[in-house]
């Protein structure tokens, strides 16, 4: 059993840890508010634009117009995996790594799979293993905006158009609330035309013209899809870290209380023993 000095040292250490985790929780909570506002405002626009993209793709005629919706036999697959740059956020990053491994060994088993890693954690994880990596980006979250995310989307779109890959999917954490993040596997390319299930198809009037609208709208929609995934992941990271630090603070508080109880009991026992020794000594002299 630890002596009193060791217990005091452990209690002090736990209190210091509590201060750190509590501070990290508050920082993540402040960052979460901004990140949550960004994705909540962006999501309706992105979803509507995606629906529009699928409707447009169903009506494309020429190969030039439909270069992003060209269906090919899937041999070469690109997985765009999005994680965070830092840890201490529970299973946030591990869930992405696990999902990618599941896809490689399951749905895309036997295919030529390449990764595009976004975030330091997923880059380090797969970079140290035998995985093909097309490119990596660990700076996007330093300044997350549409311009920087569009550059990533353009790189992936160009690789699909040139035939480097037949199928592209996004793997990221979708933000639901501070405590819940849902791992999403979302087809990015080729663009899936809307499926006919008996519903009325929308008939658009194109102005100035169908070709001009399509050539402008489809790339913008794809870039918006990537931006939304990054915003989702960014908000999910802060939510996961806030929740993890909250649990860590609570656990540290319980450990501190347990150690304090043990310390007080041992201190009381030590004082009692000293009193008994004094009484015994006095009795022996008398």
pLDDT, tens only, 40-86:
999 998 888 877 777 766 665 544 557 888 889 999 999 999 999 99
- Residue 224 in any domain: the answer is yes
- Residue 66 in any domain: the answer is yes
- Residue 276 in any domain: the answer is no
pTM comes to: 0.86
User: Two tokens at 216?
Assistant: 């402008």
Active-site entry in 89, 100, 113, 229: 89
The answer to whether 243 is a known catalytic residue is no
- Cβ within 8 Å of residue 270, ≥6 positions away: 4
- Residue 189 in any domain: the answer is yes
- Residue 266 in any domain: the answer is no
- Residue 282 in any domain: the answer is no
Q: Do the strands 132-137 and 180-189 form a parallel or antiparallel pair, or are they unpaired? A: unpaired
- Residue 92 in any domain: the answer is yes
Query: Domain residues for 36?
Result: 22-193+202-243
CATH of the domain at 150: 3.40.1380.10
Q: How many CA atoms lie within 13 A of 12 on its CB side?
A: 6
Tens-place pLDDT, residues 79-135? 999 999 999 999 999 999 999 999 999 999 999 999 999 999 999 999 999 899 999
- Residue 274 in any domain: the answer is no
Check if the beta carbon of residue 184 is closer than 8 Å to that of residue 174: yes
273 or 186: which leads in pLDDT: 186
Number of structural domains (the chain) is 1
């Amino acid at each position: 059993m630890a002596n009193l000095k060791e217990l005091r040292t452990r209690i002090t250490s736990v209190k210091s840890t509590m201060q750190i985790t509590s501070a990290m929780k508050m920082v993540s909570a402040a960052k979460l508010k901004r990140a949550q506002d960004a994705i909540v405002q962006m999501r309706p626009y992105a979803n509507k634009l995606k629906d529009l993209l699928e409707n447009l793709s169903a009506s494309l005629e020429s190969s030039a117009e439909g270069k992003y919706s060209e269906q090919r036999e899937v041999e070469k697959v690109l997985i765009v995996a999005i994680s965070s740059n830092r840890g201490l956020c529970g299973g946030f990053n591990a869930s992405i790594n696990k999902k990618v491994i599941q896809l490689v060994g399951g749905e895309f088993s036997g295919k030529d799979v390449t990764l595009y890693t976004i975030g330091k954690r997923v880059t380090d994880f797969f970079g140290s293993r035998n995985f093909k990596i097309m490119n990596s980006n660990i700076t996007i979250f330093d300044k997350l905006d549409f311009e920087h995310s569009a550059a990533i989307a353009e790189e992936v779109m160009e690789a699909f158009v040139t035939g480097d890959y037949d199928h592209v999917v996004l793997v990221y954490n979708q933000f639901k609330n501070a405590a819940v993040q849902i791992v999403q596997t979302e087809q990015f390319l080729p663009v899936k035309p809307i499926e006919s299930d008996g519903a009325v198809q929308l008939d658009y009037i194109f102005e100035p013209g169908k070709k001009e609208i399509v050539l402008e709208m489809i790339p913008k929609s794809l870039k918006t899809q990537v931006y939304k995934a990054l915003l989702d992941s960014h908000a999910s990271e802060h939510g996961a870290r806030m929740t993890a630090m909250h649990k860590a603070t609570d656990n540290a508080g319980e450990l501190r209380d347990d150690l304090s109880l043990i310390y007080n009991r041992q201190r009381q026992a030590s004082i009692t023993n000293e009193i008994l020794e004094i009484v015994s000594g006095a009795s022996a002299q008398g």
